[in-house]
Amino acid sequence: MHTCLRKVTCMNNDTIAAIATGLSAAGISIIRISGPDSFSIASKIFRNGNSSEPIADHIAEWESHTVHYGFIVDGPEVIDEVMLLYLKAPRTFTKEDTIEIDCHGGIVVTKRILSLVLANGARLAEPGEFTKRAFLNGRIDLSQAEAVMELIGAKNDLAVKNSVKQLRGTLRDRILSLRKQLLTDVATIEASLDQPEYYSLEGFAEKLSESVRAEQEEILKMLHSADNGRLIKEGIETVILGKPNVGKSSLMNALIGEDRAIVTEIAGTTRDTLSEEIRLNGITLLIVDTAGIRNTPDPVEKIGVTRAHEKAVDADLILYVADASVLLDDVDREILKAYAGKKMLAVLNKTDLMKAPVGAEHLTEKDIVPAACTSERDVRELLSDCGCEAEIVSVSAKEGTGLTELEEKISGMFFAGNLRADDEAVITSERHKECLRSAYDSLGKVLTSIEAGLPEDFYSIDLMGAYEALSRIVGEEVDEDLINRIFEQFCLGK
């Protein structure tokens, strides 16, 4: 049975504390205290820097949102010199009285202060409990709480921007708008059924059908954004594919900026997949270097080729690498045909071999360029013959040329700049997707009932089904177990 958790669980009157920063040698550490005894605990362990007198008698008179200089003490012993932030409810993150102690960032001293706080009446906060209290006390909804967690774990600039949008309530506002319309439609039906002499439903089915279709369209927009949401949150699975010795490993090294993959002149050097996570233009690439694809009697290399195919099948993007200094052949054709339906970018590598050597300026282009070579036009023709749609970038992994254009094309292929300027939050949560699908399906049942000419009370059942599914996104129709599972994923102190 679903319940409004804020009415059930928000009965805790205890005070919690935790270290809110990473526990390491650092410039500062922050110990956060939240709850009704926060000020009382602070008064027992804090001494004002300008006075040796206890602050217990006048701490309640302090102005909220002020910073105080002083010392943390354990009886007569001074533990550390600190800054203390004094924050009165309800204008705090948890909507509770809050103290934050900024101390020196030593591991020993930070733990000592936390132990002192716990000894004076607080208990250690559970993972995510500060954010959980913010949700239970109505400071944020569940979608915003989840955005906090995603912001902490963001891997790239776009993930940060999207989490901030969601934290500011962009998703919540869209959900609340949909729920408001659903409640209006349900209220109209209920009023007409209870007092038919005052409220008529003549022509209502047609209006409701239009309204439901518009709501479904809005939900579909959010669901369609989930594909981009996954790429923003998890990264773009990118596989470097091609024949042996075309420079795949050199390209990977150039993109990540270090020699991670072994590079030699011997074809077949790469025998297995090698994965690395990199950031390009604010997005994350989960890039995989693979064994060169060819028919080989070597059993170990065969395994590498098989794994290359497996990675390519599941990839979001294939970087197909060709060697500009040699001709394309049937192996290139076979590889491209095998992945004709995949999102692909063709990379013509080793363009440095097409340049004149130093001191050979007097030679003609015919003398410089090898007779057996591949041009962008050759690659374009082969792509067309194989049914592949792919842009082409010419690079030299060895000299680092063309990489900027490659990075820009990768970014443009997925987001085309629209995501960066969009004010709407992108769906990145699988839980949100499930709720949206459920709401969409319930609205579909409403349309089916309308088309079948069923009584209006049938509409209300499925309209409320959609309403409840949307309510689960913002946390108003969820059970306590789900809430606990969500906040257990948070780090301590948040």
| CATH code of residue 436 | 1.20.120.430
Same domain? For 262 and 377 the reply is yes
User: Quick one: tokens of 393?
Assistant: 């970038």
Q: Is residue 318 part of a domain?
A: yes
Rounded distance, CA 472 to CA 137, Å?
A: 17
- Closest by Cα among 439, 462, 438 to 449: 462
pLDDT of residue 70: 92
Residue 407 tokens, joined: 């990075």
pLDDT for 57 equals 62
pLDDT given for residue 259 in this prediction: 60
Return the closest-CA partner of residue 172 out of 210, 222, 127. 222
CATH no. for residue 322? 3.40.50.300
Say yes or no: 201 and 222 in one domain: yes
Domain presence at residue 146: no
For helices 480-487 and 142-152, give the axis angle rounded to 10 degrees.
20
The DSSP H or E segment spanning 484 is helix 480-487
Check residue 1 and give its pLDDT: 35
In this structure, the answer to whether residues 25 and 82 fall within a common structural domain is yes
Please give the pLDDT value at position 300.
Answer: 65
pLDDT of residue 463: 95
Same domain for 299 and 185, yes or no, is no
HSE of 331 in the Cβ direction (CA atoms, 13 Å)? 18
DSSP 299-352: HHHHHHHHHHHHHHHH-SEEEEEEETTS---HHHHHHHHHTTTS-EEEEEE-GG
- DSSP symbol at 452: T
Looking up residue 106, the CATH number of its domain turns out to be 3.30.1360.120
Could you tell me if 168 and 272 lie in one domain? no
Q: List, as one string, the DSSP characters of 340-394.
A: TTS-EEEEEE-GGGGSPPTT-TTS-HHHHS-SS---HHHHHHHHHHTT--EEEEE
- In whole angstroms, give the CA distance from residue 186 to residue 13: 38
Residue 416, sorted as left (phi over 0), alpha (psi -120 to 50) or beta, turns out to be: left
Residues 401 and 298 in one domain: yes
Range of the domain at 458: 157-229+429-474
How many other C-beta atoms lie within 10 A of the C-beta of residue 203?
8
The answer to the question of residue 494 being in a domain is: no
Structure tokens at 126: 């559970």
CA–centroid distance for 443 within its chain = 28
Question: Same structural domain for residues 348 and 215?
Answer: no
Domain boundary among 113, 141, 169: 141
Q: How many domains does the chain have?
A: 3
Overall residue count recorded for the chain in this entry: 494
Instruction: Walk along the chain (494 residues) and give the pLDDT tens digit of each residue.
Output: 344 444 444 446 899 999 999 888 888 999 999 999 999 999 999 988 766 665 666 788 899 999 999 999 998 899 999 999 999 999 999 999 999 999 998 899 999 999 999 999 999 999 999 999 999 999 999 999 999 988 888 888 888 888 888 899 999 999 999 999 999 999 988 888 777 766 677 788 899 999 999 999 999 999 988 877 888 888 888 888 888 888 888 888 888 876 654 444 544 444 455 778 888 777 888 888 877 776 666 666 667 777 878 888 888 899 999 888 888 888 889 889 988 888 899 999 988 877 544 454 554 544 555 556 888 899 999 999 998 988 899 998 888 899 889 888 887 887 654 444 355 678 989 999 999 999 999 999 999 999 998 888 889 999 999 999 999 999 987 778 888 888 888 887 88
Helix (H) or strand (E) holding 26: strand 26-34
Residue 464 domain flag:
yes
Q: What is the DSSP letter of 267?
A: T
Q: What is the pLDDT of residue 435?
A: 96
CB-count exposure of residue 23 (10 Å: 0-12, 13-18, 19+) = middle
Q: How far apart are CA 292 and CA 248, in angstroms?
A: 8
> Would you give the end-to-end CA distance of the chain in angstroms?
29
Residue 240: C-alpha distances to residues 77, 277, 318, 400 (Å): 62, 13, 6, 17
Between CA 445 and CA 435 the distance in angstroms is 16
In whole angstroms, how large is the CA radius of gyration of the chain? 31
- Where does a domain end: 91, 110, 141? 141
**Could you tell me if residue 488 is inside a domain?**
no
d(CA 345, CA 324): 15
Cβ contact 73:47 at 8 Å: yes
For β-strands 390-394 and 16-19, DSSP reports them as unpaired
The answer to whether residues 297 and 395 belong to one domain is yes
Residues 224 and 242 in one domain: no
Q: Quick check: is 209 in a domain?
A: yes
Say if residue 33 is in the same domain as residue 118: yes
Residue 399 lies in a domain: yes
Please name which of 313, 275, 306 lies closest in space to residue 291, comparing C-alpha atoms. Answer: 306
Distances (CA, A) of 243 to 334, 374, 473: 11, 14, 47
Q: How far apart are CA 225 and CA 221, in angstroms?
A: 6
Residue 407 located in a structural domain: yes
Residues 359 and 443 in one domain: no
Query: What pLDDT, on the 0 to 100 scale, is given for residue 261?
Result: 46
Q: Which of 421, 453, 485 is the last residue of a domain?
A: 421
The reply to whether 246 and 306 lie within a common domain is: yes
| Residue-level pLDDT at 11 | 46
